């Protein structure tokens, strides 16, 4: 039995070791110095790449923009996805539920690059949306919706929405309707029932799903690259530029290490908030 367990665990353990080894190599490279005339790095070794990053206002600005933008996008996804998930759970029409779930599942069949180019066609100056707006007389000239934050945000929200909805569906399915019925029997209106009963019971699931989409938004790369057109730069794109354009691997490695620390810190903060909220009376009792 032990041999069989070891065989089954071996692929996962090997994958984890390769991931850790890659991070270790990248971390060691971050202390090296870039050699002129190529992408080779070597001595002297030190903290100069980290100090250079922390002393750069532009680099810190990109880092702050990435974190703030990821939080904002995650909040928008929560605002859109929570009512959608609630409707999927509570609707009596199985056909409508199946149709909406099918539309969400279909989005997983296309990759990020395909979706990015799809939105590039839809949102372009000669795209379908601008053609409709001009045809309806809303505007007499194309509205610029690509190569800026607008296009990146639309594509990223579309990408994250299915992840959020499917992550929180389980929590909503386990909600006890008896609590809501008891609140209505005591005279509470629909909005009060939602605010004082339904929403608090969904907080643990909201925090988990929100943390998931926030972590994905932090590392987004394709959408700013294709729909940003070089005018929208987040941390992933800045690191890519240091490697592929400036050929400065040590500085890119140091940037990645700092970004990893910030990302893990913010995710752990979300998990800590989730535990604190779950311990509050009335929270985390959806399965009761």
Phi, psi for 147 (deg, rounded to 5): 60, 35
pLDDT, tens digit (0-9, with 9 covering 90-100), for 85-101? 988 888 888 888 888 88
**Helices (H), ranges, the chain:** 2-29, 48-55, 57-90, 94-106, 112-123, 128-135, 149-173, 177-185, 190-193, 199-218, 222-228, 235-244, 249-279
236 and 220 Cβ atoms separated by less than 8 Å? yes
53 and 258 Cβ atoms separated by less than 8 Å? yes
pLDDT, tens digit (0-9, with 9 covering 90-100), for 214-268? 999 998 999 998 888 878 889 999 998 888 888 888 899 999 999 989 988 988 8
Kindly report the pTM of this predicted structure.
Answer: 0.83
The arithmetic mean of pLDDT across residues 176-201, rounded, is 76
Provide the 8-state DSSP code for 210. H
CATH number assigned to the domain covering 58-115+144-279? 1.10.3720.10
Query: Which one, of 156, 162, 155, 154, lies nearest residue 108 by Cα?
Result: 162
Does the pLDDT at position 80 exceed 90?
yes
Give the sign of the dihedral formed by CA 224, CA 230, CA 232, CA 235.
Answer: positive
Domain boundaries, the chain: 58-115+144-279
**Better-predicted residue by pLDDT, 2 or 249:** 249
């Amino acid at each position: 039995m032990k041999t069989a367990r070891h065989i089954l665990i071996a692929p996962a353990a090997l994958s984890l070791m390769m991931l850790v080894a890659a991070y270790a190599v990248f971390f060691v490279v971050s202390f090296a110095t870039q050699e002129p005339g190529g992408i080779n790095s070597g001595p002297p070794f030190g903290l100069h790449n980290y100090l250079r990053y922390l002393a750069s206002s532009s680099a810190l600005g990109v880092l702050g923009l990435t974190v703030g933008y990821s939080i904002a996008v995650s909040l928008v996804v929560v605002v859109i996805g929570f009512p959608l998930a609630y409707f999927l759970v509570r609707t009596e029409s199985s056909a409508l539920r199946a149709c909406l779930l099918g539309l969400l599942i279909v989005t997983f069949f296309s990759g990020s690059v395909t979706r990015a180019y799809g939105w590039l066609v839809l949102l372009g100056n000669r795209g379908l949306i601008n053609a409709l707006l001009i045809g309806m007389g809303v505007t007499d000239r194309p509205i610029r919706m690509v190569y800026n934050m607008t296009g990146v945000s639309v594509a990223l929200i579309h990408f994250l929405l299915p992840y959020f909805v499917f992550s929180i569906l389980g929590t909503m399915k386990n909600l006890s309707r008896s609590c809501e019925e008891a609140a209505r029997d005591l005279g509470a209106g629909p909005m009060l029932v939602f605010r004082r009963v339904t929403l608090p019971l969904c907080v643990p699931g909201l925090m988990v799903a929100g943390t998931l989409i926030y972590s994905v938004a932090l590392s987004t790369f394709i959408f700013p690259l294709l729909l940003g057109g070089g005018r929208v730069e987040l941390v992933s794109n800045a690191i890519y530029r240091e490697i592929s354009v400036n050929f400065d691997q040590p500085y890119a490695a140091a940037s990645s290490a700092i970004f990893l620390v910030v990302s893990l810190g913010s995710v752990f903060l979300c998990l800590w908030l989730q535990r604190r909220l779950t311990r509050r009376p009335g929270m985390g009792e959806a399965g009761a």
